[in-house]
Amino acid sequence: MSYLRCNVRTCSNNQNDLCIREGIQVDGPTADNKDDTCCNSFTQRAENYSNVVSRHTSAEPETAIQCDAVNCSYNKEYKCMAPSVDISGSAASTSRETRCSTFDCKKTL
């Protein structure tokens, strides 16, 4: 589990910069920089629609992260081992417009 901060407020899972999901999926199997990663659990918030689930669920700061970005130094067998993770993309309307800002490439480029 990682402490997850997320500024993607256009996502229906976002509640005060935390995520209401118990776990998220980060994508980026060939990524060698953070812009090639994204949060696959992004779900666009409908306009003028506050999240129905969030009214009944409190987001917890710790979130399990499954991650395909195998070139990241925090990736261990498709799980994120970073103590804290920042997901960004404040104006995202698709998952591809989000990114894991904590990505740390273990390859020497």
Interface residues toward ligand SF4, by CB under 6 A: 26, 37, 65, 67, 69, 72, 74-75, 80, 82, 85, 100, 102-103
Residue-by-residue DSSP string for 37-106: -EETT--BPPTT---HHHHH-PPPSEEEEEE--TTBTTEETTEE--SEEEEE-TT-SSGGG-EETT--B-
Query: Is the CB of 57 or the CB of 66 nearer to ligand SF4?
Result: 66
To ligand SF4, the closest distance from the beta carbon of 44 in angstroms equals 21
Give the type of residue at 109: L
Query: Is the CB of 56 or the CB of 79 nearer to ligand SF4?
Result: 79
To ligand SF4, the closest distance from the beta carbon of 17 in angstroms equals 16
